[in-house]
């Protein structure tokens, strides 16, 4: 069985490395982006199954990049990995098609289940409070 292809997007190199170390045993990390614009271009070039994206990135935010990806017809499923725990951020991400929402403080326990849920077309959005 082929492993799911994952694109990571975060403006902090240390976070990209931690996420890659966490997920690489289960998924193929096919690329990493440090800005929202790079996330869009890499997603269109690599056609990942899932994009794990931060909200706060230079240029386009993760939410704006998600909107652009939808306009360009990307089929990648979105899981946001962020420090933002407010319901307004969750709602904005879901409005742009996100299936997963993980607060970075819960990355070790929630990220892989969120990616797996997204791969199955299911949502993984734990309470933010």
pTM across the whole model: 0.95
Q: Residue 68 corresponds to which tokens in the numbers above? A: 């652009």
pLDDT (tens digit, 9 = 90+) per residue, 60-106?
999 999 999 999 999 999 999 999 988 999 999 999 999 999 999 99
The pLDDT value given to residue 127: 75
Residues 6+ apart with CB under 8 A from 15: 54, 104
| Stretch 35-40: mean pLDDT | 97
| Domains, in order of start, for the chain | 5-119 (3.40.50.2300)
Residues 6+ apart with CB under 8 A from 18: 107
Residues 6+ apart with CB under 8 A from 64: 36
| Stretch 38-63: mean pLDDT | 96
The chain-wide mean pLDDT, for the chain, equals 95
């Amino acid at each position: 069985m082929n492993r799911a292809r994952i694109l990571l997007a975060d403006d902090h190199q240390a976070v990209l490395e931690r996420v890659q170390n966490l997920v690489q045993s289960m998924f193929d990390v096919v690329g990493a982006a440090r800005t929202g614009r790079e996330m869009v271009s890499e997603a269109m070039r690599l056609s990942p199954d899932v994009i794990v994206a931060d909200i706060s990135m230079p240029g386009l935010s993760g939410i704006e990049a998600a909107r652009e990806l939808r306009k360009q017809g990307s089929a990648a499923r979105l899981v946001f990995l962020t420090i933002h725990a407010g319901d307004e951020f969750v709602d904005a991400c879901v409005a742009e098609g996100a299936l997963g929402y993980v607060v970075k403080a819960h990355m070790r326990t929630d990220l892989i289940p969120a990616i797996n849920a997204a791969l199955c077309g299911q949502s993984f959005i734990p309470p933010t409070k």
